[in-house]
Structure 1
Amino acid sequence: MATTSLLKTITPRAGFAVQELSEQYGNSQGFWRAEIRSGRLPVVRLGRRVLVLESDLENYLNARRSNNPGEATK
């Protein structure tokens, strides 16, 4: 069984800014910042810049995968 990535197809890179996550996935920047503050989504800080590594984003998305579309995730 082939594993498919939950990451949307975009230009390959090491990390994503919060604004990029918001634009790509449709959630608000506030949503992503709350996930970061809670520790559910790890980040790398480069000065004032906050980046989510591709591998961390994929792990985050896989952890929230559900076989039941009506099931809420926490």
Structure 2
Amino acid sequence: MSQYPDFVATIDTSGLTCPLPLLRTKKALQTIESGQVLKILTTDKSALSDFQAFAKQTGNTILLQEPTEVEGTVVHFIQKR
């Protein structure tokens, strides 16, 4: 397991499918400052590629994406541009 980056907020979108994890992430990013990091938990199978596309489109940076100890859950760390 990787060393997690420092983050200022966490959102849990477990059980939600696209586009809800992305919409909740977009809303949460509006509440933090530039350079701060948001932690997102997802269970949607397409979340890895969805978040990569989201970051590319929005200019935010994905610092880390990896599975957690919980089966089917992936953690994403996105730094606000």
Common topology (TM > 0.5): no
- Larger % of helix: which? 1
- For the superposition of Structure 1 and Structure 2, which TM-score range results when normalised by the shorter chain? under 0.3
TM-score (norm 1): 0.27
TM-score (norm 2): 0.26
